[in-house]
Structure 1
Amino acid sequence: MKSTTTPTTTLLSTTLTLSLLLFLSLLTRSLSAERCHPHDKKVLLQIKQSFNNPYFLASWNPTITNDCCDWYVVECDHATNRINSLTLFGGFQRGGNLSGQIPAAIGDLPFLETLILHKLENLTGTIPTAIAKLSRLKTLWLSWTNLTGPVPSFLSQLKNLEFLDLSFNYLTGSIPMELSLLQNIVGISLDRNNLTGPIPDWRFTGNVPGIDLSHNKLTGSIPKSFGYYNYTRIDFSRNMLSGNLSFMFGSNKTTQIFDFSRNMFEFNLSNVVFPASLLSLNLNHNKIFGSLPVGLTALNNFQFLNVSYNRLCGKIPTGGKLQSFDATAYFHNRCLCGAPLTAC
């Protein structure tokens, strides 16, 4: 009996078979590729709802993409497949329609290591206690928002925290002493808020962080304990601080940046010794007197200096980088002279 199979039907059958196998392969791959933990997905949807379902979180939709590890501004740990990063970064074109307070549900992402809520002008309210539940958190960055209330002392419970940035908000009250309990902390930025009171007598037992407390309303003198530690960077500028800060310097330090400008510090600069590591020194708009130390000429990596608007006298030492700075670095002192100012 003669076969009725033709080359055309054979080709068609083969094509259909291959198409079916390809479809099943893609389906299987799609199902097996989903990494998202059901609990994390549920929490993200709660967070989205708390923020009034903003447009730039439109991808947080199981009907569009079921795997929440692929959702916008979310990252998952490859080993655990749990969400370890949530970065809501606003700006001119995105994040503008996100509004509300930080939802307590954020504390229900137990594997979170990075939490960033940045440049979200419609983010209001206080920092919720639920954040203290994030025991794995390494980076907490809540900045350029309309957050109010205090800097919470419960942040000291985040034992793995390395970076704390609460800058450019409307936080009030005093700075909690408990932040010095963060043994892994590398940087603390509380600048551009409305914080008041004295700088706490922090006694760090672990890492010594770079600290930025600038642009607040802090008063009093710097605690002597700050002279015991070796900071890479310290910025207390634009506050209402006073007293003698000469103990902050020394040849044994490796600090690179000091900014104490626009305060009311008053001390004799003449015999102060600066660390060889110094890159930037800003002391402008204080009540500092005496003369510029000759030791400043030995700073080979010196990049910035401003001692203007003080009560300094004497000749600017010659050598090193001191003559490379323009006159604005020195002017409006009582009787400072020599290049780049007028001759003595």
Structure 2
Amino acid sequence: MAWYHPLLFALDAERAHSLTIAMLEAWGRSGTPLAPKTDARHAVTVAGVRFPNPVGLAAGVDKDARAVRGFLGLGFGFVEVGTLTPLAQPGNPKPRIFRLPDDRGVVNRLGFNNGGIDAALSRIAALTPRPGVIGINVGANKDSVDRIADYATGVGKAAPLADYVTINISSPNTPGLRDLQSQPELGELIAASDGARHVGGRRVPLFLKVAPDLSRAGMEAAVRAAIDGGIDALIVSNTTISRPATLRSAHASETGGLSGAPLAPLALAKLIEAGEISGGAIPLVSAGGIGSADEARRRIDAGASLVQLYSALVYEGPGLAGRIVAGL
């Protein structure tokens, strides 16, 4: 049964989100685990990183790395924070998050709102002992004059504290950002990021996150660039600017990226497409519309090594990660 917290749903969506982060931040500081420890049989290794289980928190939830310990305590096998930009930025004007309850979806046009990568990294550095696997998702500032340089800066700063770093070029809410998914910009971006990811003798794993709105030819180009450039895993995918005809909720036509259950068919199709194109040459991470153990299993059977959750937490509640892991 869907989980609705009357108080949270009575609040504006962004305010409810902020309250949830604050609660999990407080619980994380208390040191009280919120879910049983994962059975060792659930562990999976991707890009040389051992994940306690394959169910992760997608970027966009804990943008500023405030509640990492709390989310890991809910049973997630890993947490990906961000998207973080070199400089703090407010994002797009409010309101910018819209629930689609009749469709179990969300539309957002946040626009990489965050307090800047330095502030978030200081919080991650303070997480001692290390609570679990932490990915750091990086992006470019909206008004940047050199977005590739922004990514290289983000990767270089994040690498010493990250189990892996994700290059996010898939958000629809920063004008022109998705253009980086095309050549020659993508090759240049990957090369610059690759040059920034080395910490001493350690080559920090580098993931690339692509959009579900890529054409087949666009996906082929992105996969080939990722493999040729030494990317360690491909995250498929982010929110979509498309709108299925089946949507019924009042806010379905709001501008922004659609996530949640309505995204599931497209996200699965693009995962399968990426697998066909890559032929197993690069690990795949599936995100988009995963809200149950059955859907997570469907993605794993379709070739995903890891899965990530976001919008389903709005409707299924904080115990979702643990339930999916148990169901797997």
Q: Same fold (TM over 0.5)?
A: no
Q: Which one has a larger percent helix, Structure 1 or Structure 2? A: 2
TM-score, normalised by the number of residues in structure 2: 0.28
Q: Which has the higher contact order (CA 8 A, sep 6+)?
A: 2
Q: Rg: which structure is higher?
A: 1
